[in-house]
């Protein structure tokens, strides 16, 4: 989701800071990230080196310690959007939105148009046969996959 998030944010004109391991920084830059930060760093402090006032939005695709270290970068009026964390463990003063993706034909059409125009790429990280679906799940559970995982019948 992060690889798509970078591209969608750039298509809307956002300054994007990608957070991942050092080995994925070039990948994020290729997708359009303006800045990259290693998730092992003090993410909030590192963010403020480039954007001293902080950020308007954090799009969380990892949660856990990475999210906790990012929160100091959020402007007081900023918003945290997460696809994993439902906000139960967060400061109630944070403007928070949990996103659960549901089928939406209009949004899918918009994504298709972006892909057709070359403005949205879906990088493939791994391909597995249906017989190896358990291996695909194991790869997902590592939380260290670059690109999308595809299961081929």
Digit-coded pLDDT (tens) for 79-99? 999 988 887 888 888 999 999
Digit-coded pLDDT (tens) for 89-140? 888 889 999 998 889 999 999 999 999 999 999 999 999 999 999 999 999 9
> Which residues of the chain form CATH 3.40.50.720?
2-120
Pairing of strands 124-129, 148-152: parallel
- Are 18 and 35 in contact by the 8 Å Cβ rule? The answer is yes
Residue 143 has, within 13 A of its CA and on its CB side, a CA count of 9
Q: Among candidates 46, 53, 41, which has minimal Cα distance to 17? A: 46
CATH architecture for residues 2-120 = 3-Layer(aba) Sandwich (3.40)
Report the SS3 class of residue 70.
helix
* Predicted structure pTM score: 0.85
């Amino acid at each position: 989701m992060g690889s798509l998030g970078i591209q969608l944010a750039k298509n809307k004109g956002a300054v994007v800071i990608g957070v991942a391991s050092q080995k994925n920084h070039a990948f994020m830059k290729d997708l359009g990230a303006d800045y990259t930060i290693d998730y092992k760093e003090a993410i909030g402090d590192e963010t403020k080196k480039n954007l001293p006032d902080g950020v308007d939005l954090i799009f969380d695709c990892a949660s856990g310690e990475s999210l906790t270290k990012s929160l100091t970068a959020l402007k007081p009026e900023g918003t945290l959007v997460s696809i994993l964390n439902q906000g139960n463990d967060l400061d109630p003063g944070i403007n928070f939105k949990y996103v659960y993706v549901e089928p939406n034909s209009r949004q899918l059409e918009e994504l298709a148009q972006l892909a057709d125009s070359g403005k949205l790429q879906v990088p493939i990280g791994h391909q597995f046969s249906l017989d190896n679906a358990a291996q695909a799940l194991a790869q997902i559970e590592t939380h260290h996959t670059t690109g999308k995982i595809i299961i081929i019948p």
